[in-house]
Structure 1
């Protein structure tokens, strides 16, 4: 999904993530907990907000199922590694990456010539992944 320059793309990205996981659940029989759906929307919101706020030009978001996680990747045009600030309850704002790192199973940044790719993996279930029962 290419993200537009205004803030309406943040809500659109959250809806896209929810629709993606709902389709994965209903069409592909991927187990997705309500908690995972909410966390995915939170991560999408934080990553897209950062891309829109700190990078000029278009940004891209990709979603895919990877093993027992949903992989959320947001690509923008600034080839600078973002900073996760130390926890500070007095600070207003700038908690986005701190939140993403706290809720993600895995979180990393890959710098590229044209910008960066920020990727987070969110567990699809709240506990062990259920295995299909044999007939």
Structure 2
């Protein structure tokens, strides 16, 4: 899966899941979802292996973004370092999410981020 394609899928999913709801989705929440998807897919492309799977699930107040790939090396959140060039993706995901879960699975790994929509 390409990064631009994943962002498009996320935008379309948000738009479709918003239909029929009483309240507008804050632009900030939509931007956060796009950025989290972009960072997680980028990490899977750069550091993972095999097929990449993106899953999105929404409740009224939250969106769960899950990315799976066949790589077995689990990503590690690094401490903030403004002097470091690159490798800030997981920091960004953690800053934009209520929770981040990283798990090894039988066929690789899964990274799940829970994002507040309000």
Query: TM-score scaled by structure 2?
Result: 0.93
Gapped regions of structure 1 (runs ≥ 5)? 4-8, 126-135
Residue 52 (structure 1) aligned to one of 45, 49, 72: 45
Shift of 1:106: 1.0
Q: Secondary structure of the residue that 1:72 maps to in structure 2?
A: strand
> Which residue number in structure 2 is paired with residue 86 of structure 1?
79
Do 2:63 and 2:115's aligned partners in 1 also have CA atoms closer than 8 Å? yes
Residue 17 (structure 1) aligned to one of 4, 7, 10: 10
Q: Within the alignment, does 1:29 sit opposite 2:12 as a pair?
A: no
After the TM superposition, which of the residue ranges 87-96 and 29-38 deviates more from structure 2?
Answer: 29-38
> Which residue number in structure 2 is paired with residue 131 of structure 1?
none
Aligned alpha-carbon RMSD (Å): 1.3
> Which residue number in structure 2 is paired with residue 75 of structure 1?
68
Query: Number of paired residues?
Result: 117
Question: Which of the two has higher C-alpha Rg?
Answer: 1
Shift of 1:79: 2.1
Q: Deviations over 1:97-125 (max 9, x none)?
A: 00101110111112111101100011111
> Which residue number in structure 2 is paired with residue 129 of structure 1?
none
